[in-house]
């Protein structure tokens, strides 16, 4: 990966080399100027020439550090003794009186050079530490993007290459030994080196590779191998810090995965408990009604008139259909939990499907008035016929269950902004405003007592999952009709828009 961001460690690795070269150049310049000052001793005098040497040594130390200052001081001593002290052009000292100025000169030059050089060295060390900290910070930020253990290897390789200018990968032990975790093939020399680090963490030999055994809790042996691609030496303490960051990332990703798995198990257990509760409660009422009707027909069949017998039989059929729908809801919810809806889609007429659902629900409507309003009967949507009808039946069943005799239920279908809009509104009990956002949750009943409500609490959840799987939206608003009740609005993309 190539980005425009600066690479802190590359600067750290090359800075010392560049500065050393620049220091030698600056020292050479200073020495040249000092030599020129020595040749100008007669017009300037010995004292002025000596001060030029002191200045040159100080500048050398300030620019290039302690080593350059010491080299400059030694060179200045030789030049001063050779050119300025009598006798000239020789290192001999003529009299004892010439020794004191020479010693004082060299001491002053050495002290000033050492102080300036140490100051420069400390500045370079501070800069180097700052570059290392910036590199570690950038690496830490990059590693934070790895959410799973499988992502850590890719992130480490990418981040180390981009930020540290080096190749890197991870090796981990299993029953067959140490193996490379990289998606790219690893060289045999890397395998051998990683094996050596795994068994002897401090042994690296003369290999250009750098390795660290990561300290991980409750994890197999893991080795980080780095190959610098730039000149310069990386400090061991810095490599240790990088290894610690990688180890922390691996542990964090492993813990995150464990937490996710535990949450998934907890959700599955919660769903299972809710499903069992739904089956035990919501199936009991239809079964009781079926049992009562069947028992009456068996016990009093000959004594009942035709109208009563037909009513009891119709009740059995209605309750069987209700049980069938509950079973379908549970099945579809299980499919959603297992990985979504994978059903073949067909181009369907929205009005035609609504009419079919209306025909099936009308026998259960009792004295409620259920109507369909579809100005454009040919609006096409892409859906699975059985699931689409199930969604409409679930919403219509809710409207009927929670409305009184004589209430109105209306289905309105229209085109709106390139989508098919389906409104199912009623004039029934309605939903409290605070519960509008929760009515699509599994097993949620908006303040309706279980003793009177027959719904399983899955109908609207099924509708939401199916509609969103098709790229649509569904929401509930109040009021519905006549200033009362609820309005459920579904928007599905038109089939032409999907094909385009």
What is the torsion angle, in degrees rounded to the nearest 10, for the CA atoms of residue 62, residue 66, residue 72 and residue 73? 110
Within 10 Å of residue 276's Cβ, how many Cβ atoms?
10
473 and 379 both lie in a single domain? yes
Higher pLDDT, 68 or 314: 314
Per-residue pLDDT, averaged over 103-110, amounts to 66
Which one of 338, 356, 377 terminates a domain? Answer: 338
Per-chain mean pLDDT for the chain: 74
Q: Of the segments 138-142, 215-219, 377-381, 495-499, which one has the largest average pLDDT value?
A: 377-381
SS3 (DSSP) at 122? helix
Q: Quick one: pLDDT band at residue 61, thresholds 50, 70, 90?
A: low
29 and 168 both lie in a single domain? no
Contact 421, 500 (CB under 8 A): no
This prediction's pTM: 0.44
Q: Quick one: pLDDT band at residue 500, thresholds 50, 70, 90?
A: very low
Assess whether pLDDT exceeds 80 at residue 329.
no
308 and 226 both lie in a single domain? no
Q: Quick one: pLDDT band at residue 66, thresholds 50, 70, 90?
A: low
- Tell me whether residue 266 is in a domain: no
Joined tokens for residue 62 = 């300030």
Joined tokens for residue 251 = 């542990």
372 and 492 both lie in a single domain? yes
Contact 404, 428 (CB under 8 A): yes
Burial of 428 (0-12, 13-18, 19+ CB in 10 A): buried
First to last CA, the chain: 36
84 and 161 both lie in a single domain? no
- Tell me whether residue 276 is in a domain: no
Higher pLDDT, 461 or 356: 356
Dist CA 367 CA 80 (whole Å): 121
370 and 387 both lie in a single domain? yes
CATH of residue 436's domain is: 3.30.565.10
In 3D space, the residue among 14, 122, 10, 120 whose CA is nearest the CA of residue 68 turns out to be 120
Res 273: pLDDT? 65
369-373 and 408-416 strand pairing? parallel
Burial of 241 (0-12, 13-18, 19+ CB in 10 A): middle
Which one of 255, 275, 304 terminates a domain? Answer: 255
Q: Give me the helices (H) in 340-435, please.
A: 350-361, 385-401
SS3 (DSSP) at 206? coil
Instruction: For 429-448, write each residue's pLDDT tens digit.
Output: 888 888 888 888 876 766 55
Compute φ and ψ for 173, nearest 5 degrees. Answer: -85, 145
Lowest mean pLDDT among 34-43, 176-185, 375-384, 489-498: 34-43
- Tell me whether residue 267 is in a domain: no
106 and 217 both lie in a single domain? no
Res 439: pLDDT? 84
Q: Of the segments 117-126, 256-265, 336-345, which one has the largest average pLDDT value?
A: 256-265
Lowest mean pLDDT among 63-72, 331-340, 347-356: 331-340
Per-residue pLDDT, averaged over 348-372, amounts to 88
Dist CA 132 CA 8 (whole Å): 7
Domain ranges, residue 483: 341-499
Compute φ and ψ for 145, nearest 5 degrees. Answer: -75, -10
Lowest mean pLDDT among 17-26, 180-189, 270-279: 17-26
β-partners of residue 382 are 347
Within 10 Å of residue 349's Cβ, how many Cβ atoms?
19
Q: Render 311-325 in DSSP notation, one character per residue.
A: HHHHHHHHHHHHHHH
Q: Of the segments 41-55, 86-100, 338-352, which one has the largest average pLDDT value?
A: 338-352
Which one of 110, 138, 166 terminates a domain? Answer: 138
CATH of residue 211's domain is: 3.30.450.40
- Tell me whether residue 322 is in a domain: yes
Dist CA 333 CA 327 (whole Å): 10
Assess whether pLDDT exceeds 80 at residue 42.
no
Res 85: pLDDT? 62
Instruction: For 198-208, write each residue's pLDDT tens digit.
Output: 777 665 556 77
Instruction: For 215-256, write each residue's pLDDT tens digit.
Output: 777 777 888 888 887 666 667 777 788 788 888 888 888 888
Res 105: pLDDT? 63
Dist CA 78 CA 57 (whole Å): 13
Dist CA 404 CA 441 (whole Å): 25
169 and 296 both lie in a single domain? no
313 and 371 both lie in a single domain? no
- Tell me whether residue 422 is in a domain: yes
213 and 302 both lie in a single domain? no
Joined tokens for residue 298 = 């068996």
Q: Quick one: pLDDT band at residue 414, thresholds 50, 70, 90?
A: very high
Assess whether pLDDT exceeds 60 at residue 13.
no
Contact 243, 234 (CB under 8 A): no
Res 271: pLDDT? 58
Q: In the Cβ-directed half-sphere of 392, how many Cα atoms lie within 13 Å?
A: 30
313 and 378 both lie in a single domain? no
- Tell me whether residue 184 is in a domain: yes
419-426 and 473-477 strand pairing? unpaired
Joined tokens for residue 132 = 């290392």
State the residue for tokens 């016929």.
Answer: 385
Our count of domains for the chain comes to: 4
Assess whether pLDDT exceeds 60 at residue 134.
yes
- Tell me whether residue 345 is in a domain: yes
Dist CA 32 CA 430 (whole Å): 97
- Tell me whether residue 274 is in a domain: no
Angle between helices 236-282 and 306-339 (to 10 degrees): 170
296 and 165 both lie in a single domain? no
Q: Quick one: pLDDT band at residue 26, thresholds 50, 70, 90?
A: low
């Amino acid at each position: 990966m190539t980005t425009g961001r600066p690479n802190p460690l590359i600067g750290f690795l090359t800075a010392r080399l560049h500065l050393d070269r620049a220091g030698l150049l600056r020292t050479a310049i200073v020495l040249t100027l000092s030599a020129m000052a020595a040749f100008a001793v007669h017009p300037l005098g010995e004292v002025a020439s000596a001060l030029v040497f002191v200045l040159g040594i100080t500048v050398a130390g300030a620019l290039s550090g302690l080593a350059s200052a010491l080299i400059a001081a030694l060179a200045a001593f030789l030049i001063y003794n050779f050119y300025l002290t009598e006798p000239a052009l020789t290192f001999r000292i003529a009299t004892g009186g010439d020794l004191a100025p020479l010693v004082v000169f060299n001491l002053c030059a050495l002290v000033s050079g050492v102080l300036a050089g140490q100051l420069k060295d400390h500045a370079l060390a501070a800069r180097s530490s700052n570059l290392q900290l910036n590199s570690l910070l950038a690496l830490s930020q990059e590693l934070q993007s790895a959410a799973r253990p499988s992502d850590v290897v890719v992130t480490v390789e990418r981040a180390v290459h981009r930020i540290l200018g080096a190749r890197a990968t991870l090796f981990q032990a299993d029953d067959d030994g140490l193996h490379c975790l990289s998606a790219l093939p690893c060289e045999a020399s890397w395998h051998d080196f990683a094996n050596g680090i795994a068994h002897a963490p401090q042994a690296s030999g003369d290999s250009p590779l750098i390795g660290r055994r990561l300290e991980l809790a409750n994890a197999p042996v893991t080795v980080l191998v780095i190959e610098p691609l730039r000149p310069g030496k990386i400090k061991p303490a810095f490599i240790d810090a990088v290894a610690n960051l990688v180890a922390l990332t691996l542990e964090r990703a492993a813990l995150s995965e464990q937490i996710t798995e535990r949450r998934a198990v907890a959700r599955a257990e919660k769903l299972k408990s809710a499903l069992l509760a739904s089956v035990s409660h919501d199936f009991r009422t239809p079964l009781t009604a079926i049992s009562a009707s069947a028992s009456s027909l068996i016990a009093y069949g000959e004594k009942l008139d035709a109208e009563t017998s037909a009513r009891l039989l119709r009740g059995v059929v209605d309750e069987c259909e209700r049980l069938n729908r509950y079973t379908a809801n549970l099945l579809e919810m299980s499919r959603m939990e297992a990985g979504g809806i994978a059903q073949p889609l067909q181009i369907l007429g929205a009005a035609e499907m609504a009419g079919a659902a209306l025909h099936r629900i009308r026998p259960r409507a009792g004295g409620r008035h259920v109507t369909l309003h579809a100005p454009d009967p040919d609006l096409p949507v892409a859906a699975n016929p059985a699931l689409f009808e199930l969604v409409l039946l679930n919403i219509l069943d809710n409207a009927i269950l929670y409305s009184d005799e004589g209430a109105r239920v209306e289905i309105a279908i229209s085109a709106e902004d390139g989508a098919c809009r389906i409104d199912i509104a009623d004039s029934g009990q309605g939903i409290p405003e605070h519960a509008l956002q929760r009515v699509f949750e599994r097993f949620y009943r908006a303040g309706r007592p279980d003793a009177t409500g027959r719904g399983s609490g899955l109908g609207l959840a099924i509708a939401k999952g199916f509609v969103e799987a098709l790229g649509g939206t569904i929401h509930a608003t109040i009021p519905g009709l006549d200033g009362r009740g609820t309005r459920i609005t579904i928007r599905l993309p038109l089939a032409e828009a999907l094909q385009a």
